[in-house]
Amino acid sequence: MKHVTRRDLLCHSGLATATGLGLPLARSAASEGPANQGRKLKIVVVGGHPDDPESGCGGTIARYADEGHDVVNLYLTRGEAGIRGKKHEEAARIRSTEADKACRILKARPRFAGQIDGATEVNRQRYDAFWELMQEEKPDLVFTHWPIDAHRDHRVASLLVYDTWLRSDRRFALYYYEVMSGLQTQHFWPTDYVDITQTEARKRAACFAHASQKPEGFYGYHEPMNVFRGLECGCKYAEGFARHVQSGALL
């Protein structure tokens, strides 16, 4: 009987080895079978602000995009309150430009949901507006913030996605990502991993495209996270994700 190590168990339970077609999350549980292998997926990555999708799962975004899938970085706000000393309009312009640059690096498409940084809302109107936006995108897979997060805007983004997922009869796969774990994302335990060893440099470049946010500071949190998640699943760099237990798994 072959001896199975702890590393073997971690890797085979995660996305790092579930490559299927050469990338993580390669097929939908709702559409399994040879006829669907190789099909183009729509992936939407929802973040509270410009820089959240990039820092939380930029390496995974790059992997999907490199395989020809359609990736949308959906920013709940334009980061209006994110530059000290700047009025909302100017900060929004600067940060939107930075998001465009980051998306070009990752080969993703930016989209903005129209809420205001620091004043995001969860109410019937906001739920409906977000639902309509997601209906236009028709995702196969959505990544968003872990709901237990110190930042209110992150929690709002997570709740809007969750409501849309329920309203759509759980039609898309739902995964959560982490940002600045311990400081912002809390009590996060990955169920799945993506090996980003080959795309970590682009993740870094996309994060550093957000120059107004002092990326040398926030990436100082994410670099050891990438290393630690890599150690957990047996590669140099990885990103960890928590799959909703009732979600179909795109493995």
pLDDT tens for the 251 residues of the chain, in order = 444 343 443 343 444 333 323 345 433 333 343 334 578 999 999 999 999 999 999 999 999 999 999 999 999 999 999 999 999 999 999 999 999 999 999 999 999 999 999 999 999 999 999 999 999 999 999 999 999 999 999 999 999 999 999 999 999 999 999 999 999 999 999 999 999 999 999 999 999 999 999 999 999 999 999 999 999 999 999 999 999 999 976 64
Using CA atoms, how far apart are residues 209 and 191, in angstroms rounded to an integer? 29
What are the tokens at 54? 């990039």
What are the tokens at 155? 């929690």
What are the tokens at 75? 């920013």
Q: Which residue has the tokens 């329920």?
A: 166
Beta carbons of 148 and 186 less than 8 angstroms apart: yes
Q: Which residue has the tokens 């820092």?
A: 55
Using CA atoms, how far apart are residues 175 and 24, in angstroms rounded to an integer? 13
What's the pLDDT tens digit per position in 90-100? 999 999 999 99
* Distant-in-sequence, close-in-space partners of 23: CB < 8 Å, separation ≥ 6: 63, 64, 66, 67, 69
Q: Which residue has the tokens 């309009």?
A: 89
- Helices 215-233 and 200-208, interaxial angle, to 10°? 160
What's the pLDDT tens digit per position in 149-185? 999 999 999 999 999 999 999 999 999 999 999 999 9
Whether the predicted model's global pTM rises above the 0.85 cut: yes
Residue 29 CB neighbour total at 10 angstroms:
11
* Distant-in-sequence, close-in-space partners of 251: CB < 8 Å, separation ≥ 6: 15, 18, 20, 25, 26, 27, 29
Q: Where are the alpha helices (DSSP H) in the chain?
A: 6-13, 52-66, 88-106, 124-137, 152-167, 200-208, 215-233
* Distant-in-sequence, close-in-space partners of 249: CB < 8 Å, separation ≥ 6: 25, 29, 173, 192, 243
Query: Which domains, from first to last, does the chain contain?
Result: 6-26+38-243 (3.40.50.10320)
